[in-house]
Structure 1
Amino acid sequence: MTMRNTIRRAVVTGASSGIGEALAWELARRGATVEIVARRKTRLEKLADAIHARGLPRPIVRVADLLNEVDLATLEGTWSENPPDVFVNNAGVGMNRPFLSSDLESMERLITLDLEVPMRLSRTVGGAMVERGWGAILNVASIAAFFPTPCHAVYSAAKTALLLFSESLDLELRPSGVTVTTLCPGLTNTEFFEAGDYLTDSLVYRMSRDDPKDVARAGIKGLLKGRVVVVPGIKLKVLLALQRLIPHRWLVAAAGKAMCTESHRGL
């Protein structure tokens, strides 16, 4: 079972930059009217204008903070009554700190935005899609869902949980005509990494990062084909294959070099 090839309406959360912005472009190029959701109104308006200037359907701008209960409930009310063809849970936040030096508030914020909000919106939108008889959800996780990641313990845990949740939900909803696809990108050339305390000038980062356009294209293609998990790019596929061959401690050490700064190591 695959998603219909014509996407009329789509929603992308966290659409003001990075992979979310690229996903909005990819869906618009396929003819969809995209609802773009984020906190930064200026960024969203600029994106909507740019897409419309290319002769594509102008996206609907929805300024909202998904950590705000009023904003979240308002969006749920809208989408439960009129679900889109495709719903993308992309909004998220990272935290690159050793676990013991991470503050509780930041950890709770990450778990809420990266895991609890996608689960809640998947329930709202998924239920409406099941009633209609078709639809597709794309949850954006991370390659970190497959590996232990030093200085990234909470993020990896949240993305692993999101991956397993999404795979389980797909098994529940697919018989009703609704698919759930999980996109697991790796290091990507976005401000997500620029804003965090990452070694963005390191050789590992510069050689490994992917273009968000390529990630978005792979995600939407996988969704349309009804795939359960999408790992974009040959580099990540090779990495997952090597996971079975390389000693576990080597993988952890390599992840630490890529994700931890010198000031973090040993804390």
Structure 2
Amino acid sequence: MTKTALITGAASGLGYELSLLLANDEYNLILIDVDSGKLNEVRTEITKSYSCKVDVMVKDLSKPNVANEIIEAIDVIIDVLVNNAGFGLFGTFANTEWQRELDMLYVHVITSTHLTKLVLGGMVKRGSGRILNISSLAAFQPGPLMSIYYASKSYLLSFSEAIANEVKGTGVTVTVLCPGPTKTAFQGVVSEKTTENKISFNMACPSDVAQYGYNAMQKGKTVAIPGLINKFLATINRFVSRGMATKIVRNLQEKNRKE
């Protein structure tokens, strides 16, 4: 039987790349994004190259109760959920815009958690299903100058690891992908309301990152960190104090901002 995957933030970046991988494996797709133009372009591109069914939903995931709206509009079983949508904001917490940060918390935390809640119970009852949450290398330490982004990604990591343990043995798996800097539209969104943070060090190709995360999801791996440098950076707190790790992150953020 044909299976269905729901992907948020599917119009570009990792969401787009993961949609291609799922289409190649003959999943029908439900693609969700706030950008209607790019979303329809992606649907056209995928339907030209693959035989799967592609439905799109234009939704702002920063709005309350949007997860309910999405699930209520769907009349098929969700076999794979990819919580990919997200964005960043650069600047000191005292000076950044609260509404933008509230939107980020909704997208990264509330809506992702709610979508997971709405599909996970059915997956467990059926004894099958996969969830892929897109976190970040940022999840492993505090992030001065991007405090809410780092904290929300840390939440996604912790949440994913916890529920992955809860569903062990049910036939359902939960994977959290924690990439380092990846060449996507993320940087443009970071700079939308504030000074741009131009990260160039250790920049990864989105198709490679997506493939790594997709393989990890299919294998049922819980935490997926692509790249040897990133794997090392994720463990930096084992070698230095959290205070020192925070200072290192602050220095990197300031350096990248000036470049």
SS of residue matched to 1:83 = coil
Aligned mate of 1:153, from 147, 150, 156: 147
Contact 1:7–1:85 under 8 Å retained in 2: no
Contact 1:14–1:20 under 8 Å retained in 2: yes
In the TM superposition, structure 1's runs of 4+ consecutive aligned residues that sit over 4 Å from their partners are 246-250, 261-264
Aligned amino acid, residue 74 of structure 1: E
Count of residue pairs brought into register by the alignment: 254
Contact 1:188–1:212 under 8 Å retained in 2: yes
Note closer, same or farther for the CA distance 1:114–1:245 as it changes in structure 2 (3 Å cut).
Answer: same
Q: Which residue of 2 aligns with 1:3?
A: none
1-structure distance, mates of 2:2, 2:136: 25
SS of residue matched to 1:174 = coil
1-structure distance, mates of 2:253, 2:109: 21
Aligned amino acid, residue 60 of structure 2: D
The answer as to 2:45 corresponding to 1:50 is yes
Deviates more, 1:99-108 or 1:110-119: 99-108
1-structure distance, mates of 2:103, 2:137: 21
Deviates more, 1:246-255 or 1:42-51: 246-255
Q: Which residue of 2 aligns with 1:240?
A: 234
Aligned amino acid, residue 9 of structure 1: T
Aligned mate of 1:20, from 15, 23, 27: 15
Contact 1:49–1:58 under 8 Å retained in 2: no
Note closer, same or farther for the CA distance 1:199–1:70 as it changes in structure 2 (3 Å cut).
Answer: closer
2-structure distance, mates of 1:138, 1:11: 10
TM-superposed deviation, 1:44: 1.0
Aligned mate of 2:56, from 56, 61, 66: 61
Q: Which residue of 1 aligns with 2:184?
A: 190
2-structure distance, mates of 1:53, 1:98: 45
Q: TM-score, normalised to structure 1's length?
A: 0.86
TM-superposed deviation, 1:244: 2.5
Question: Structure 2: 5+ residue runs without aligned partners?
Answer: none
2-structure distance, mates of 1:47, 1:178: 28
Percentage of matched positions with identical amino acids = 30
Aligned mate of 2:83, from 78, 89, 96: 89
1-structure distance, mates of 2:129, 2:241: 41
Contact 2:181–2:202 under 8 Å retained in 1: yes
Note closer, same or farther for the CA distance 1:263–1:141 as it changes in structure 2 (3 Å cut).
Answer: closer
TM-superposed deviation, 1:121: 0.7
Aligned amino acid, residue 199 of structure 1: N
Contact 2:66–2:111 under 8 Å retained in 1: no
Aligned amino acid, residue 37 of structure 2: T
Q: Which residue of 2 aligns with 1:173?
A: 167
SS of residue matched to 2:131 = strand
The answer as to 2:35 corresponding to 1:40 is yes
After superposition, the C-alpha distances for 1:86-121 in whole angstroms (9 at most, x for unaligned) are: 100111221111111123222222111111111111
